[in-house]
Amino acid sequence: MKRILVTGGAGFIGSHLCRRLLEMGNEVICLDNFFTGSKRNIYSYLENKNFELVRHDITKEYFAEVDYIYNLACPASPPHYQYNAIKTIKTSVLGMINMLGLAKRCKARILQASTSEVYGDPKVHPQREDYWGNVNPIGIRSCYDEGKRCAETLMMDYYRQNNVDIRIVRIFNTYGPNMDPDDGRVVSNFILQALKGEDITIYGDGSQTRSFCYVDDLVTGMIKMMENPSFIGPVNLGNPSERTILDFAKLIIELTNSKSNIIYKPLPSDDPTQRKPDITLAKEKLGWEPKVNIEEGLLKTIEYFKELI
């Protein structure tokens, strides 16, 4: 049994991670400021004697005695991280410094939830971990992309300078139950639009690609990475099955039996044109690859959204 701190534990991925860690018999401290997270996501764990909920903002120092820290606190959808861009950078940078300080003090292992956004609009396809990326430092996505890049730098510097035991995972687009219906991401938008019979809004011409990973697969990969005795990463975690956003919209219409029409809206600036993880390293070092196919994962996600509305 370990005592584990999960920052951002009331969010979409964090809530699944907390559940899995509790099921494994660990003690979990879920720390969240509820900016995008919700008590609904973690309500069912509140009675568990091994679960503790703390309302706290990671841009402020936090003290606890823990063995592992999963640092997930940070808004992840473009509308949410752009809502208060300066706060987003503070969360990635000051929050990372605070969590690394905590890890250093109590000799905890710390895993950072980094992102495929560190590759920006990639010129290398699929993206491997040794690709340095193509990121606009002054655009509307920069608060998130550059914040996460700086967080990776901090992780590496605390590792080199202070021997902090680090793990870095680069998460690619993930979906599943507990996604916030209002977060504006493509999966939640398309499913809700399809279920309500509203127009499905494609930004741009729909030729941009993404690769979607079901949340259970992702959480398995994160835990494997945390428990690996020596491999620090960075490692890509995502599902390499790539599709265009237009094909994705058609798939959602089919799986929901919807009569919705597809409409086109302007593409937001710096929207990456293609994204697909090369997961060779994860397979080799962690023995990990995704197991859930897109239809199966989407049907579970559709059920979740049906219950919500």
User: Residues in the site for ligand UDP, rule: CB under 6 A?
Assistant: 77-78, 173, 185-186, 189, 201-203, 208, 210, 245, 268, 271
In this complex, which beta carbon is closest to ligand NAD, that of residue 33 or of residue 208? 33
Q: Tell me, yes or no, if 45 is annotated catalytic.
A: no
- State in angstroms the smallest separation of the CB of 8 from ligand NAD: 3
In this complex, which beta carbon is closest to ligand UDP, that of residue 57 or of residue 117? 117
HSE at residue 187, side-chain half, CA atoms within 13 A, is 27
Residues numbered 58 to 77 that lie near ligand NAD (CB under 6 A) are 58-59, 72-76
Among 26, 98, 127, 173, binds ligand NAD (CB under 6 A): 173
- Using an 8 Å Cβ cutoff, are 103 and 64 in contact? no
Please report, as a single letter, which amino acid is at residue 118. Answer: V
DSSP letters spanning 97-117: HHHHHHHHHHT-EEEEEEEGG
- State in angstroms the smallest separation of the CB of 240 from ligand UDP: 15
The site partner of 271 among ligand NAD, ligand UDP, none (C-beta below 5 to 8 Å per kind) is ligand UDP
In this complex, which beta carbon is closest to ligand UDP, that of residue 41 or of residue 174? 174
In this complex, which beta carbon is closest to ligand UDP, that of residue 80 or of residue 109? 80
Question: Site for ligand NAD (CB under 6 A): how many residues?
Answer: 29
Give the C-alpha separation, 116 to 66, whole Å.
28
Give the C-alpha separation, 282 to 220, whole Å.
12
Nearest to 248 by CA among 140, 171, 173: 173
In this complex, which beta carbon is closest to ligand UDP, that of residue 31 or of residue 151? 151
The site partner of 115 among ligand NAD, ligand UDP, none (C-beta below 5 to 8 Å per kind) is ligand NAD
Question: What is the sign, positive or negative, of the torsion defined by CA atoms of 92, 96, 99, 103?
Answer: positive
Q: Kindly report each contact of residues 62-65 with a partner whose C-beta sits within 8 Å and lies 24 or more positions away, as own/partner.
A: 62/31, 62/98, 62/99, 62/102, 63/102, 63/105, 64/3, 64/5, 64/29, 64/102, 64/106, 65/3, 65/106
Nearest to 148 by CA among 203, 207, 191, 89: 89
At which residue do the structure tokens 């509307």 appear? Answer: 140
The catalytic residue among 62, 68, 144, 214 is 144
Residues numbered 66 to 125 that lie near ligand NAD (CB under 6 A) are 72-76, 91, 95, 113, 115
- State in angstroms the smallest separation of the CB of 111 from ligand NAD: 11
What's the CA dihedral at 124, 121, 206, 178 to 10 degrees?
A: 110
Q: Which residues have a catalytic role annotated?
A: 144
Site of interaction with ligand NAD (CB under 6 A): 7-8, 10-14, 32-37, 57-59, 72-76, 91, 95, 113, 115, 171, 173-174, 180
